[in-house]
Amino acid sequence: MAKTYGQWLKEAREAKGWSQQELANKAFMSRSMIAAIEGGQRHPSENDAKALDAALGTGDVLVTFRPGALKGQVADWFGKALELEQQATVIREFGLSFMPGILQTEAYADVLMRRSYPPQNEEQRHKDVVTRLQRAKMLEDPVTPVVWALLDEGVLRRSFGGPAIMAEQLRHVAGLVERERIRVHVLPFGAGVPLLTGMVSLMWFEDQPPVAYTEGLRMGTVHDSPSVVERIRGAYDQALSDARSLEESLAIVRATAEEYERHD
């Protein structure tokens, strides 16, 4: 496929004489999702790619050459969450022990991979770091998805890789906030009841119900039961109400980065 995926899809659609809405109707998708795929802002899920192939009569071309197909490059338990993450219009993250994956710098991610158990060889560790950085490319879109990150203060204080790496990581997050690309709220030590006891990601979509993803030690679960998602969202919202404001949180992130820089 010499052209980009989105260009190829657009040409295949126009060859049929269809508008984006007509293709969306035939593939049971939203028009905005078709527009986002054609514009390169979104990657289709495997099921969406199959539906597009079926509608356009293109065999399995759109499935075979689907970009962002990173599922086979992540842990088995995270594969479904990754697919959903790539389709989400709103993502709310909670980091308890370390920075959420889509906010990590290369050096910070590499340190985390080096400390994983069982140990990885250098080739596998490099692949995992590259995959994590590819996930973060969603933030290159200036608007979508909307990302909020609720960070336990321990995420800022727990040093991975030494002062220089931590300073770079916190400066990266501060930069995203300063550019108004994300919102960050710091949950200070001793604030509220610890209702969130592990990593949490809440995701909303344009044309399907919200889901939640929770992760523990080498295991993760996608929750799509409305009652379960609502309970997790309630816990998130309660923790968020105990967190510092956006302005206060940005000041904390900057000040902590400065502390690391003084000790570098």
Place of tokens 């075979």: 64
Q: Which residue has the higher pLDDT, 257 or 191?
A: 257
The pLDDT of residue 137: 87
Cα 122 to chain centroid distance, Å, stands at: 24
Q: What is the mean pLDDT of residues 169-185?
A: 98
Average the pLDDT over 199-207 and give the result: 90
Domains assigned to the chain = 5-64 (1.10.260.40), 71-262 (3.30.870)
Over residues 57-73, the mean pLDDT reads 72
Query: What does the pLDDT read at residue 101?
Result: 93
Amino acid type, 168? E
- pLDDT, tens digit (0-9, with 9 covering 90-100), for 222-248: 899 999 999 999 999 999 999 999 999
Nearest to 136 by CA among 176, 194, 188, 178: 176
Average pLDDT across the chain, whole number? 88
Between residues 208 and 13, the one the model is more confident about:
13
Q: What is the pLDDT of residue 75?
A: 57
> What would the DSSP string read from start to end of 171-211?
HHHHHHHHTTSEEEEEE-TT-S-----SEEEEEE-SSS--E
Average pLDDT score over residue span 113-124? 81
CA quadruple 174, 177, 181, 182: dihedral sign:
positive
